[in-house]
Structure 1
Amino acid sequence: MPNERLDLEARIHPEIPHAARIWNYWMGGKDNFEADRAAGDAVAAVYPDIVRMAQQSRKFLTRAVSYLAGEAGIRQFLDIGTGLPTMQNTHEIAQRLAPDSRIVYVDNDPLVLVHARALLKNTTPEGVTAYLDGDYNEPELIVEDAHNVLDFTKPIAVMFMGVLGYVEDHQAARSIVDRVVGALPSGSHLVLWDGTATGDAVAEGSEKLAESGAVPYHLRSLAEMGEFFTGLELVEPGLAPISHWRLEEDAEEVTPIDAHGAIGRKP
């Protein structure tokens, strides 16, 4: 699809800092531009732990998907706002544990789309890996498109991994989550984490991100984070720093990070 690729590339603006590319920079990736690196450095100058948050977020994803594909027996995943592909992507973890897993990635960033369609391929012949050009501000359209790949009569794990902070209004963010979860059958799971207003430095980092010209990231309180899981059964240990959620007993000790997450099961 060369014409489609050209159209996507025309939507990429390297002079404007972009969330997915900044995050890629913090994770040590190469899919970023000078404006993204400048914004990332501005945040890291006042909140050095942002780099550790990026690293811990991938470890949280790995543990969460491993739990879902393993102990919880989930075989369908809807990863909304997936960001640029990196190591240990959702489909790789799920299909390694359950070869027949079906994964739908969703993002509206053109650079993400270009890379995802090239890199996010099945790791098993039994599995399915698909990618949707979609915006989480239109959850009904995402659900409608996902019906083409996922069976909505069987449990699905929907994932919002560090993306809802870009929604300024908390009730609007809750509405997005509620509308997606509301479309899922019993036994489905919500996996969600975001940066939290649990320290002065992380708050200053959020301010620097907005000053850089990037889309502002709005930190949530712990109470607001808990509201995303209203009506769901929290999986142990409940809402916790992502650096400590189901951390292996023999893992080396880590300092808690200003980001919290959980998994909730729909009754």
Structure 2
Amino acid sequence: MYRATFDDSAPASIDPTKPSIARVYDAFLNGTDNYEADRAVVQGVLKAAPEARDLAVENRNFLIRACRFLAGHAGVTQYLDCGSGLPTAENVHQVVQRVDPDSRVVYVDNDPAVLAHGRALLEEHEGNDNTVFVAADIFEPETLLADDTVRSTLDWSKPIALLQLGTLHHYNAERTRTRKDVMRAYIDALPSGSYVAISHFLDPEDEYSATARKMEELFLHSMMGSGTFSTRAELQELFGGLDMVPPGLVRCADWWPDGPHLKELNAAQRSIAGGIARKA
């Protein structure tokens, strides 16, 4: 698998001078699949908010717990992971196929680095015909949902888990439709009994709001140009009125944690929320 270390030359399909959302996220997780431009975004945010790395950590931990719930408790065997990002420890297919090896996972991303790494990961595990990668824009749901691989890999007469984890806060406000409209298109297409999982940067609307908005400002004015923090009410709208799984939309750290919090949550941990909802 290609590893994008600082002294490597980039593949022709990748511009190392422009930060990538997936590679910035990888840099926050102390990965090696990133370039100087990606690390510059991380360093800029960390200067103003040293705890900001926990945004990525809590998002990844929420992903793992959410997938364990969906596979182990909800019995879901089909997953559409939008904006899957660069492979790391405990990817969606590894979590859910540990519960049920026949679970089907469709990863979707349009970052060339993500697609190259993802396909290489699957080549290392030959025989996993239940996991595929699709190159598509996750903010164009009608096009994505009409993709031949998406249609053929997933059985659209049975429940599907739609994962939008750490993606919607990177939605470009200049697009002609709102995030709510994008999610409505996905939700309308999902079969009955399906689940929607979302994690998103949060404005906690308390004494930590100033730090959240400072991080937002740094993300938006970095070369990456995205990273919006929204209020809980704004995020709740993205679930389209579906029935929330307890405890509802909460800070990611508070969504069925693996154990009690042994110390106070920092500003970053209080500034990313997640939840899962079910379509009746």
Q: TM (normalized to structure 1)?
A: 0.91
The partner residue of 1:206 within 216, 221, 224 is: 216
Moved more, 98-107 or 226-235: 226-235
Matched with 1:85 is 87
Matched with 1:179 is 185
Q: Secondary structure at the match of 2:236?
A: helix
Q: Secondary structure at the match of 2:44?
A: helix
Matched with 2:233 is 223
For 2:23 and 2:233, the matched residues in 1 are separated by: 29
Q: What displacement does 1:230 show?
A: 2.6
Verify the 8 A CA contact 2:82 2:108 in the aligned structure 1. yes
For 1:24 and 1:31, the matched residues in 2 are separated by: 6
Query: What is the total number of aligned residue pairs between the two structures?
Result: 260
| Structure 1 residue ranges (4+ consecutive) displaced by more than 3 angstroms after TM superposition | 120-127, 168-171, 249-254
Matched with 1:4 is none
Q: Secondary structure at the match of 1:12?
A: coil
Per-residue CA deviations over 1:121-158 (Å, capped at 9, x if unaligned) read 69696760000001012111211221120000000000
Q: Which amino acid aligns with 1:66?
A: R
Counting only pairs closer than 5 Å after superposition, residues 182-193 of structure 1 correspond to structure 2 as 182-193=188-199
Q: Which amino acid aligns with 1:258?
A: S
Per-residue CA deviations over 1:159-202 (Å, capped at 9, x if unaligned) read 00111111144961111111111111100000001001222112
Moved more, 95-104 or 224-233: 224-233
Q: Which amino acid aligns with 1:175?
A: D
Q: Secondary structure at the match of 1:10?
A: coil
Identity %: 36
Query: Structure 1 18/126 Cα, relative in aligned 2: closer, same or farther at 3 Å?
Result: closer
Matched with 1:20 is 22
For 1:123 and 1:67, the matched residues in 2 are separated by: 24
Matched with 1:119 is 121
Matched with 1:246 is 256
**2:153 pairs with 1:149:** yes
For 2:241 and 2:124, the matched residues in 1 are separated by: 34
Moved more, 247-256 or 190-199: 247-256
**2:41 pairs with 1:39:** yes
Q: Which amino acid aligns with 1:13?
A: D
Structure 1 regions of 5+ residues with no counterpart? 1-7
Q: TM (normalized to structure 2)?
A: 0.87
Matched with 2:5 is none
The partner residue of 2:171 within 167, 172, 178 is: 167
For 2:76 and 2:129, the matched residues in 1 are separated by: 13
Q: What displacement does 1:215 show?
A: 2.5
Query: Structure 1 168/141 Cα, relative in aligned 2: closer, same or farther at 3 Å?
Result: closer
Query: Structure 1 113/157 Cα, relative in aligned 2: closer, same or farther at 3 Å?
Result: same
For 1:138 and 1:67, the matched residues in 2 are separated by: 28
